[in-house]
Structure 1
Amino acid sequence: MQNNQIKEDNYRVFAMLSNYLNKAPEYVDKEEIEEIVNGGLSYEYAFAIIMAAAFGLDIIDNEADKKVFNLYFREMFHKLDENEFYSNPYYKNIKIPAMKIGNSELKYDTYKPFEGFVCDDIIQTKEGRQVPQIGFFQNEFKFPAVLENGRIWMTITPNEIETMKEPVGQAYGNVLTYGLGLGYYAYMVSEKENVESVTIVDMNEDVIDLFTKHILPQFNHADKIRIIQSDAFTYAKSEMPKEKYDFVFTDLWHDVSDGLDMYLKMKEFEKQNPETIFTYWIEKSILCYL
């Protein structure tokens, strides 16, 4: 009975958060949250109260709503320090020019003050509760982005930085990464002394062109980088076993919704490469759906 209730709570929270992030991520008003904070509450708690009210939760008299608030909302929202992320090596050393090539556009996008966004992997508790991690900044925050046909496709936001910390830290030797994006992962691992080479597999010619002309020349260790234009799964099947990579990182999806099937498909190739370490972007969040 408890497991069913937890599943219902998870579903309820995810439905609320999905509606908020997709339709009204700028819902929280700066003046409203500042007024609550001036009353002695933290930004995180004030943000949680505002969002609970927006979702129609009665956290005073309704015990079920109060429980959801305490178990999810109080652990869900995080005020982030923009200076911490601006000091990231990629942010500090790589400058993104605004330009278009084909259907791809390179630019800086922004999070507005108190705009909510996913900032890390889902946290799953021992009892099975799944708590999304939503961040916000007090001030405007700029981040690099690639748009495909006017739609944001690839970014380097706090979410990418936080969810790539482990696979960056673990990488060594000859590294293979599926998915180029703006080259964040390739840059971070190329800076490591114990990484000898970084092979990037991506099939988008426009993105490769943008990266090769405008971003790769800014790398301190561009000599470590090799780019192969290919479908990831074709390469994984025919070429990956021949190369004997030490470490593989896969980042082919936009989020969990389009990543689950690709994640499972790539996992099958681990059997053909038993001596290689495989890691996957937002794997902790993906596993919550399996």
Structure 2
Amino acid sequence: MKPNDKIAVDNQKIFALLSNYLNNAPDYVEKDEIEELVKYGVPYKQAVAMILAAAFGLDIADDQVDREFYNRYFPKIFFQLDTAEYAENSYYQNIKMPSVKIGKSELKYEKYKPFEGFVCNDIVRTLDGRQYPQIGFFTEEFAYPAILENGRIWMTVTPNEVETMKDAIKKAYGKVLAYGLGLGYYAYMVSEKDEVDSITIVEKNRDIIQLFQTYLLPQFRQANKVRIIEADAFEYAKQVMPAEEYDFVFTDLWHDVSDGIGMYEEMKQYERLCPKTEFSYWIEKSILCYL
């Protein structure tokens, strides 16, 4: 097997293992089991990795192939996050979520359990083609705001959103356009910047807009900078965006990579209509790993 083929097989294997874990049993790791290992000097990050390796059927003690696979991937995948660090984020500090419903949409707080795993940043890809998903966990309970559609989590502001939007927030300036409203995290963070004159948000879900305008936007310190347009993002990109001459455009229309690739590729086509505009896309690094 050629080196590149071996890397592709390894990538497929780690993604399959982690997908099964995150989709079916993200709270598999028990606190008591972790603490037992920690008593013997094993760091939390390593303890989580070892427990999951065993759950995945890897024999890292006696099987050399499994041990090499573990050493190659697991230390670069799992991360202990600090609740205090995210508590200092200005959105978490200043925007409070009531528990309300409008139509099929419900605004509320959800929680990560201690040691529950979740995607916490873009996939890291090395020059040789290895791909490392980034999986975080907290050692204590962590509450985060969410919008549920028909009882299922659809939009959130979790550490993943915080980390993966940092670059697009940092680069935003002047007249900004955002496709996708969510819980208004991007709109809030961008509106706080002196370099940003205005932020226009295109969102087609009327219930989401109503929730935002009624309960969240009034909490924005720079609400005067924010404009909401109820429209289809792709129609707006084709028919309206070029004439508006935006300085910076951020697109966040998808839930994850699996439903984002097609929309990403379609939206990229409209960049040519605005040659002076800078474009940015949510989780673009992860999407490009699949293209």
TM-score normalised according to structure 1 size:
0.99
CA apart distance, 1:155 = 0.0
- The equivalent residue for 1:242 is 243
- Show CA shifts across 1:218-250 (max 9, x none): 000000000000000000000000000000000
Q: Which residue of 2 aligns with 1:172?
A: 173
**1:58 partner SS:** coil
1:161 is aligned to 162
Number of the residue aligned with 1:22: 23
Deviations 1:186-219 (A, max 9, x none): 0000000000000000000000000001000000
Matched residues, number:
290
Cα distance in 2 between the residues matched to 1:246 and 1:156: 25
What's the CA shift for 1:78?
0.6
Matches of 2:234 and 2:159 in 1, distance apart?
28
Matches of 2:64 and 2:128, distance apart in 1: 19
Structure 2 counterpart of 1:84: 85
Query: 1:255 deviation in Å?
Result: 0.2
Which letter does structure 1 place at the counterpart of 2:96? K
Superposition pairs of residues 1-150 of structure 1, within 5 angstroms:
1-150=2-151
- 1:268 Cα deviation from its structure 2 partner: 0.3
CA distance in 2, matches of 1:64, 1:156: 38
Give the secondary-structure state (helix, strand or coil) at the position aligned to 1:227.
strand
Name the structure 2 match of 1:264: 265
Q: How does 1:268-283 map to 2 (within 5 A)?
A: 268-283=269-284
Cα distance in structure 2, aligned partners of 1:67 and 1:232: 46
- Look up the match of 1:188: 189
What is the Cα-based RMSD across aligned positions, in Å?
0.6
- Match for residue 223 of structure 2? 222
Between the aligned partners of 2:160 and 2:68, the Cα distance in structure 1 is: 27
> Matches of 1:24 and 1:78 in 2, distance apart?
18
Write the mapping of 1:205-216 to structure 2, written as runs, cut at 5 A.
205-216=206-217
The Cα shift of 1:12 comes to 0.4
Deviations 1:54-83 (A, max 9, x none): 000111222221121111111111110001
Cα separation, 2, equivalents of 1:44 and 1:125: 22
Mapped partners of 1:62, 1:125: distance in 2: 26
In structure 2, C-alpha distance between the alignment counterparts of 1:274 and 1:72, rounded to whole Å: 40
Secondary structure at the counterpart of residue 106 of structure 1: strand
Q: How far has the Cα of 1:35 moved from its partner? A: 1.1
Which residue of 2 is the match for residue 200 of structure 1? 201
- 2:148 maps to a residue whose letter is L
- Shift of residue 106, structure 1, vs aligned partner: 0.2
Q: State the SS of the aligned residue for 1:161.
A: helix
Q: SS at the partner of 2:143?
A: strand
Consecutive unaligned residues of structure 2, counting only runs of 5 or more, are none
Q: Percent identity?
A: 63
Secondary structure at the aligned position of 1:233 is classed as: helix
The alignment partner of 1:44 has SS state of helix
Question: What CA distance in whole angstroms lies between the structure 2 residues aligned with 1:286 and 1:225?
Answer: 28
Stretches of structure 1 that go unaligned for 5 or more consecutive residues are: none
Secondary structure in structure 2 of the residue aligned to 1:249: strand
Q: Using the alignment, how far apart are the partners of 1:67 and 1:255 within structure 2?
A: 30
Question: CA separation in 2, counterparts of 1:68 and 1:176?
Answer: 43
Letter paired with 1:20: Y
**Which stretch of the first structure deviates more once superposed, 70-79 or 178-187?**
70-79
Report which stretch shifted further, 61-70 or 16-25: 61-70
What is the alpha-carbon distance in structure 2 between the residues aligned to residue 110 and residue 275 of structure 1?
A: 42
Cα distance in structure 2, aligned partners of 1:21 and 1:203: 29
